[in-house]
Amino acid sequence: MYSNTEIQQIVAEQRKFFRTGATLPVKWRIEQLKKLKTAVVAHASEFEDALMADLGRSRVEAYLCDVGPIIVEINEMIHGLRRWARPETHFSGLMCFPSIITKVYKMPYGVSLVISPFNFPILLTIGVVAAAMCGGNTVVVKSSSKSVACTEVLQRFFAEVFPPEYITLIDGGHDVADMCLAQRFDKIFYTGSPAVGKHVMAEAAKNLTPVALELGGETGNWCVVCKDADLKDAARKIAFFKLCNAGQICININQIAVAEEVAEPFLEELKKAFVAQIGEHPVTNPEYPKLITTAAYDKCAALADEYRDRIVFGGEGDRESCRYAPTLIYPVNKDEHIVKHELFCPLLPVVPFKDSEVDALMETIADREHPLAMYLFTKDMKWAKRTMQTQQYGGGCINEVCLHMMVKGVPFNGVGHSGMGAYHGEWGFREFTHPQTVLKGSTRFNLSLREHPYTGKVGELKMKLLRLFER
């Protein structure tokens, strides 16, 4: 258990280290990123074991969703950092003559706080820490108290690889998180729920600390399956995604809206896809992940019981192992409470709609809080592209799920109640740096244009020149 004094000391030591300028050279940052990558590879099996203990994830799923993406992310940073960090050169403009050269430097914020979640405790800790390192910051990590095994492994990992004045991990519950938030950090990055995100932002405001928030979205992520969609393909992809981490994914599908004209055949395809991928008894399948705590299991089971008469697939679980089967609930009205909040579990409500009224459905979605992700399945690319360009959400896919966050060079972010800021690759570097504009002044050929007097013939001449320069 940490005290306020201990956390203050950790932050003070990191600030002292940052002010030495050790983290500023790009060459040094690349060396640290290489060291991080080497350590991730060396500890991969340990991370996989911890993910199995906390979330019941198989080695393949643990590597696919946590370890592998970190390595890809760090590689992108190592290869791109020199280019990203290069100062920009701008022409200052005639108004600034003769000082015609302006530079924009990418400066790290300083001491950063990363608050990571339980659902992807390795990826969403090391991945964000890597972005902070890439930007030249020091990092204090507050990891989740729910993913106990992963937090223990990560604490040993960071202590082994980096000195505490550069990177250090603090464990503990909400009280420890609040002690961290009470400190004056230069940047805060939080991943988790909108409710806690509001608290983080309120605490950060006391010190005017800039915040990046990656949130699940208050009313959940929609997947829309139109009448003309390839139902088998859609079902296969949706089943894979809902099984992944037992639905505990911030960009996962919270509810499906399916055209009522194809609802029955789609549900049959979705059932077959679940069985094909996880078997008829997922609760006893060791490959199927579990819910993080018994409290999470009880919440999921209680909601399933509330809709028991409309469960058309699944609906059973084992509290001892915290596994609850993927469960389809149909039909559900778009205004029922189950589709008005993030579920974060294997329950999957299915909302039928008339295909001719899909735009009205999209209006309903737009009226709610902005989701972190959106997924459309249709052959009508004109409609799909128009919809994706007019809705507000973090990111998404057409005829696919989740892969948008795996693409190199593009941002991962939320908007409104699903977050603010962005990271991954160069976008992570940008998130953890701020641009500083510096004009290089000239000591020769300086004009008196900006100086008094502003009246008489001299003033008239200056006005003519100003209007000329501003064209």
Measured at the CA of 302, the angle between CA 307 and CA 346, to 5 degrees, comes to 75
| Closest residue by Cα to residue 442 from 174, 92, 51 | 92
- For 52-88, b/e burial (b = at least 16 CB within 10 A) is bebbbbbbebbbebbbebbbebbebbbebbeebbeee
Contact 98, 446 (CB under 8 A): yes
Contact 124, 114 (CB under 8 A): no
Q: Could you confirm whether 214 is annotated as catalytic?
A: yes
List C-alpha distances in Å: 317 to 118, 137, 257, 278, 360.
21, 44, 25, 14, 36
| Closest residue by Cα to residue 336 from 324, 345, 347, 323 | 347
DSSP assignment, residue 257?
Answer: E
* From 250, 300, 345, 402, active-site residue: 250
Which residues on adjacent β-strands are paired with residue 141? 114, 169
Q: Could you confirm whether 250 is annotated as catalytic?
A: yes
Q: Which residues contact 331 (CB under 8 A, 6 or more apart)?
A: 263, 310, 350, 351, 352
* From 48, 61, 76, 214, active-site residue: 214
Provide the annotated active-site residues: 214, 250
